[in-house]
């Protein structure tokens, strides 16, 4: 199970804004579970605070991503957002005393290394993903972004400036914290020499220099050395990663981008949010009461053996609980005078938790999960009245009409039963 994360403590960054050139200090702080990422301008009165959400994106900023609420703005947030997304940090508050994040070395390297050095803290609530269920597509002529269903998060990027000063580049990566840290975080921002001159003339890039910005001429950076042969492509992927986090949750799917920039990235985020808005999984809480459970599986008294479910991740895993009582009907005839819960009912209870996980998927709602097989079942200790059973269930395989779960049942820290169960998912 993947749980939300925040920082162990605050991390301070100081530098100059890449475009404004103004000195700025940013403090990234831990935040409570389910709060997401927020930016706060502490130099304004009253203080400006904005959630890193697509709703607050300033659309007319050039070559950067900015948040605006009223008259307050924070610019060039994409690098720190890329670091937060890439490292799997769900909740953080970023205090800034200026209108632009510090450029650091032009990449996400300083953010990433400082976050990891400070340490990450796992929180009590599971991560909730925006899952790509069907192909999505946005384009603007010769630029495009596609989102495809996939079991994990990956990005494929094609950079093509169609200019002799910067050759075409391509890279495809699965996005995991260790891969992001090594392959994307160090990639610095860049432009062509003629672009740099135009940007300066328009009042942008006042904090840029040949150290924090790669300026390409004749396919090589001026007065600098590449960290990667395709560093420009990698930086575009890091920017895309930061922009995608404006969806408010991590994404599960394959993102394919061709020559995209911030504006098109933002359009794809809007598409993803719109497509996921009606997803029944998004409305399911991470903890289920018995009433919630009865909305998903058809079992009722006296054959419903799950009282509640915690740490629920639809389609993936869950932890279920049952308080075993002397009043349970099966004790009337099972070893009278020496009450022991039947082992087959322990497995049935495990299977009911697995059924909740399976049937919570949007395509399986209002269906029934039938047993296909029970494998590797072992009973290690008897369960008696007064015990509280805890079921740890994880999906191993899931297909259109079948699924397989592995489960363990505990009383306290003692393992009492384990098994693998397979289901057929059918129409009632």
- Determine contact, residues 65/76, Cβ cutoff 8 Å: yes
Which residue shows structure tokens 């009461």? 289
Q: What is the pLDDT of residue 279?
A: 45
The whole-number pLDDT of residue 177 equals 97
**Residue that wins the pLDDT comparison between 232 and 280:** 232
Read off the tokens for 387: 């015990």
User: Mean pLDDT throughout 9-21?
Assistant: 94
Mean residue pLDDT across the chain: 91
Higher-pLDDT residue of 391 and 337 is 391
* Structural tokens at position 54: 């697509």
* Residues 342, 335: Cα–Cα separation, whole Å: 9
Is the pLDDT assigned to residue 182 strictly greater than 70?
Answer: yes
Q: Which tens digit of pLDDT belongs to each residue from 77-135? A: 999 999 999 999 999 999 999 999 999 999 999 999 999 999 999 998 888 899 999 99
Using the CB atoms, write b or e for 120-141: b if 16+ within 10 Å.
Answer: beebebbbbbbbbbeebebeee
CB 196 within 8 A of CB 209: no
Distance between CA atoms of residues 90 and 38, nearest Å: 11
Q: Where are the beta strands (DSSP E) in 64-150?
A: 66-69, 72-74, 92-96, 120-126, 130-131, 136-139, 144-148
pLDDT at res. 284: 61
Domains by residue range for the chain, with CATH: 3-277 (3.30.230.20), 281-426 (3.10.129.10)
How far apart CA 165 and CA 302 sit, in angstroms, is 74
Model confidence at 54, pLDDT cuts 50, 70, 90, reads very high
Q: Taking a C-beta distance cutoff of 8 angstroms, is the pair 155, 240 a contact? A: yes
Q: What is the pLDDT of residue 282?
A: 46
pLDDT higher than 60, residue 283 = no
166, pLDDT greater than 70: yes
- Between CA 13 and CA 20 the distance in angstroms is 17
Q: Over 60: is that where the pLDDT of 280 sits?
A: no
Average pLDDT of the segment spanning 28-57: 92
Question: Is 334 labeled as catalytic in the residue annotation?
Answer: yes
Predicted confidence band at 29 (pLDDT cuts at 50, 70, 90)?
very high
CA distance 7 to 119: 6
> Which pLDDT tens digit goes with each residue over 325-360?
999 989 888 888 889 999 999 999 999 999 998 888
Distance CA 341, CA 384 (A): 6
How many Å apart are CA 219 and CA 166, to the nearest integer? 5
Using the CB atoms, write b or e for 239-255: b if 16+ within 10 Å: bbbbbbbbbbbbbbbbb
262 carries an active-site annotation:
yes
Active-site hit among 19, 38, 262, 299: 262
Contact in structure between 66 and 77 (CB atoms under 8 Å)? yes
| pLDDT top residue among 366 and 118 | 118
Q: How far is CA 74 from CA 26, 78, 95, 269, in A?
A: 11, 11, 10, 19
**Percent above pLDDT 90 for the chain:** 70
**Class of residue 54 by CB neighbours under 10 A (exposed 0-12, middle 13-18, buried 19+):** middle
Q: Pick the range with the lowest mean pLDDT from 48-52, 185-189, 275-279.
A: 275-279
Ramachandran angles phi, psi of 383, nearest 5°: -115, 130
Cis before 302? omega within 30: yes
């Amino acid at each position: 199970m993947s749980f939300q994360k925040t920082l162990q403590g605050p991390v301070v960054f100081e530098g100059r804004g890449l475009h404004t050139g103004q000195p700025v200090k940013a403090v990234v702080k831990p935040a409570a579970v389910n709060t997401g990422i927020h930016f706060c301008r502490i130099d304004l009165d009253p203080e400006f605070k904005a959630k890193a959400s697509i709703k607050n994106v300033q659309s007319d900023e050039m070559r950067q991503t900015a948040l605006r609420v009223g008259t307050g703005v924070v610019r060039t947030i994409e690098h720190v957002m890329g670091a937060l997304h890439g490292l799997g940090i769900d909740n953080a508050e970023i205090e800034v005393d200026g209108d632009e994040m510090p450029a650091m070395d032009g990449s996400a390297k300083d953010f990433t290394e400082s976050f990891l050095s400070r340490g990450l803290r796992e929180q009590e609530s599971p991560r909730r993903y925006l899952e790509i269920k069907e192909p999505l597509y946005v384009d603007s002529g010769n630029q495009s972004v596609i989102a495809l269903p996939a079991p994990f998060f990956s990005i494929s990027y094609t950079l093509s400036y169609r200019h002799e000063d910067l050759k075409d580049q391509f890279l495809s990566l699965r996005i995991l914290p260790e891969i992001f840290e090594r392959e994307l975080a160090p990639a610095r921002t860049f432009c062509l020499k003629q672009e740099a001159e135009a940007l300066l003339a328009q009042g942008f890039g006042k904090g840029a220099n040949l150290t924090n910005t790669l300026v390409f001429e004749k396919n090589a950076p001026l007065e600098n050395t590449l960290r990667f042969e395709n560093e420009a492509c990698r930086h575009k992927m890091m920017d895309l990663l930061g922009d995608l986090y404006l969806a408010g949750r991590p994404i599960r799917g394959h993102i394919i981008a061709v020559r995209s920039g911030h504006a098109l990235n933002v359009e794809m985020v809007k598409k993803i949010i719109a497509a996921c808005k009606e997803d029944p999984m998004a409305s399911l809480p991470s903890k289920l009461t018995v009433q919630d459970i009865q909305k998903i599986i058809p079992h009722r008294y006296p054959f419903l053996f799950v009282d509640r479910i915690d740490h629920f991740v639809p389609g993936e895993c869950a932890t279920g609980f049952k308080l075993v009582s002397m009043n349970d009907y099966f004790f009337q005839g099972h070893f009278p005078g020496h009450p022991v819960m039947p082992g087959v009912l322990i497995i049935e209870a495990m299977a009911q938790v697995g059924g909740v996980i399976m049937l919570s998927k949007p395509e399986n709602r209002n269906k029934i999960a039938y047993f296909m097989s029970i494998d590797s079942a072992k009973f290690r200790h008897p369960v008696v009245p007064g015990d509280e059973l805890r079921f740890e269930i994880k999906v191993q395989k899931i297909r259109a009409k079948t699924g397989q779960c592995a489960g363990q049942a505990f009383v306290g820290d003692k393992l009492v039963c384990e098994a693998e169960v397979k289901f057929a998912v059918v129409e009632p």
